[in-house]
């Protein structure tokens, strides 16, 4: 079955740039989506279609995709950005798949 | 306001069945695909199933295919997940999520419920 691979954890100091990667064989043909989940809360969409930012999401969140790797970048990470981040995409049959998630620590 | 409210979770023995419901409000339900996503305690998100806006197509994760059935009633603004032959590994918080349409956050999960907990245990 199709898999998306993320690093389990990323750690940065406040104000630094955090980059979270997501690798998958179908990403050259399929969009990546990124979700932020804070403790005890439902996920929130932060990036869609590789690089688009929904309204209300701070400009410091950006996304990109090249080949088999999609990247979520948080420029000038804030303490409030500390959360779990999940990439999501679909396989060729229309089934969805999430990456394993990345715990972002900002301290 | 736009809202999804899940219900139907609980404690059930392995091999038994349970039906989850997700009631939508604040938007035209029949315009959007709907998904179920689950999260086992302390674990990551797992996509479970999707049903198209008109119910014409349904897709399932391999882990639930043949045991779970997604359906919807557009007259009741509700999506369902019938779960049969439940296993211990199905224990999770089950979220329903709205899929954005072509004009707004396409193919994204733009609205999530708060989830309903399913515990499978003997």
Flag whether pLDDT at B107 surpasses 90. no
Give the per-residue pLDDT at A62. Answer: 98
pLDDT, tens only, A56-97 = 999 999 999 999 999 999 999 999 999 999 999 999 888 999
Nearest-Cα distance to chain A for B121, in Å, is 23
CB-based contact A93 B59, cutoff 8 Å: yes
pLDDT, tens only, B67-104 = 999 999 999 999 999 999 999 999 999 999 999 987 88
Flag whether pLDDT at B120 surpasses 90. yes
Flag whether pLDDT at B122 surpasses 90. yes
pLDDT > 90: what percent of chain A? 93
Flag whether pLDDT at B106 surpasses 90. no
pLDDT, tens only, A11-46 = 999 999 999 999 999 999 999 999 999 999 999 999
- In chain B, what residues touch A43 (CB-CB under 8 Å)? 37, 45, 95, 109, 112
pLDDT > 70: what percent of chain A? 100
- In chain A, what residues touch B107 (CB-CB under 8 Å)? 31, 33, 48-49, 90
Q: What is the mean pLDDT of chain A?
A: 96
Give the per-residue pLDDT at B99. Answer: 95
Query: Using an 8 Å Cβ cutoff, are A89 and A4 in contact?
Result: yes
Tokens of B67: 């045991």
Tokens of B57: 């197509």
Nearest-Cα distance to chain B for A107, in Å, is 22
Tokens of A41: 């809360």
- In chain A, what residues touch B110 (CB-CB under 8 Å)? 45, 54
Nearest chain A residue (CA) to B95: A42
Taking only residues 59 to 78 of chain A, the set having a beta carbon closer than 8 angstroms to any beta carbon of chain B reads none
Centre a 10 Å sphere on the Cβ of residue B61 and count the other Cβ atoms it contains.
19
Residue with tokens 């032959």: B85
Nearest CB to B115 within list A42, A86, A95: A42
pLDDT, tens only, B35-56 = 999 999 999 999 999 999 999 9
- In chain A, what residues touch B37 (CB-CB under 8 Å)? 43, 98
**Cβ of residue B101 closer than 8 Å to a chain A Cβ:** no
> What does R_g of chain A's alpha carbons equal in angstroms?
13
CB-based contact B46 A98, cutoff 8 Å: yes
**Cβ of residue A37 closer than 8 Å to a chain B Cβ:** yes
Query: Using an 8 Å Cβ cutoff, are B38 and B92 in contact?
Result: yes
Tell me which DSSP letter residue A39 carries. Answer: T
In whole angstroms, give the CA distance from residue B43 to residue A68: 25
Give strand ranges (E) for A1-107.
9-12, 18-23, 33-37, 44-47, 61-66, 69-74, 83-90, 96-98, 102-106
In whole angstroms, give the CA distance from residue B87 to residue B122: 10
**Cβ of residue A54 closer than 8 Å to a chain B Cβ:** yes
What secondary structure does DSSP assign to chain B, as a single string?
--EEEEE--EEE-TT--EEEEEEEESS-GGGS-EEEEEE-TTS-EEEEEEE-TTSS-EEE-TTTTTTEEEEEETTTTEEEEEE-S--GGG-EEEEEEEEEETTEEEEEEEEE---EEEEE--
State mean pLDDT over B6-32. 97
Residue with tokens 């715990």: A103
Give the per-residue pLDDT at B103. Answer: 80
Give the per-residue pLDDT at B101. Answer: 83
Pick the closest to residue B110 from A35, A29, A63 (CA basis). A35
């Amino acid at each position: 079955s199709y898999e998306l691979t993320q690093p389990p954890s990323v750690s940065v100091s406040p104000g630094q740039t955090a980059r979270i990667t997501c690798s998958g064989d179908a990403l050259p043909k399929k969009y990546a989506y990124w979700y932020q989940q804070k403790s005890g809360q439902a996920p929130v969409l932060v990036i869609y279609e590789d690089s688009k930012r929904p309204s209300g999401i701070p400009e410091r969140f950006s996304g990109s995709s090249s080949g088999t790797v999609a990247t979520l970048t948080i420029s000038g990470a804030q303490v409030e950005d500390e959360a779990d981040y999940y990439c999501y995409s679909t396989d060729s049959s229309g089934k969805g798949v999430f990456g394993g998630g990345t715990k972002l620590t900002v301290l | 306001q736009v809202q999804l409210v899940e219900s139907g979770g609980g404690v059930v023995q392995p091999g038994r069945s349970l039906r989850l419901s997700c009631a939508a409000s604040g938007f035209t339900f029949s315009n959007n695909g709907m998904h179920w996503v689950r999260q086992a305690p302390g674990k990551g998100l797992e996509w479970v199933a999707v049903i198209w806006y008109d119910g014409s197509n349904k897709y399932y994760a391999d882990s639930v295919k043949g045991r779970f059935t997604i359906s919807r009633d557009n007259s009741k603004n509700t999506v369902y997940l019938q779960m049969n032959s439940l296993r211990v590994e199905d224990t999770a918080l089950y979220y329903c999520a709205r899929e954005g349409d072509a004009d707004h956050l396409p193919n994204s999960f733009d609205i999530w419920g708060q989830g309903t907990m399913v515990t499978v245990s003997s």
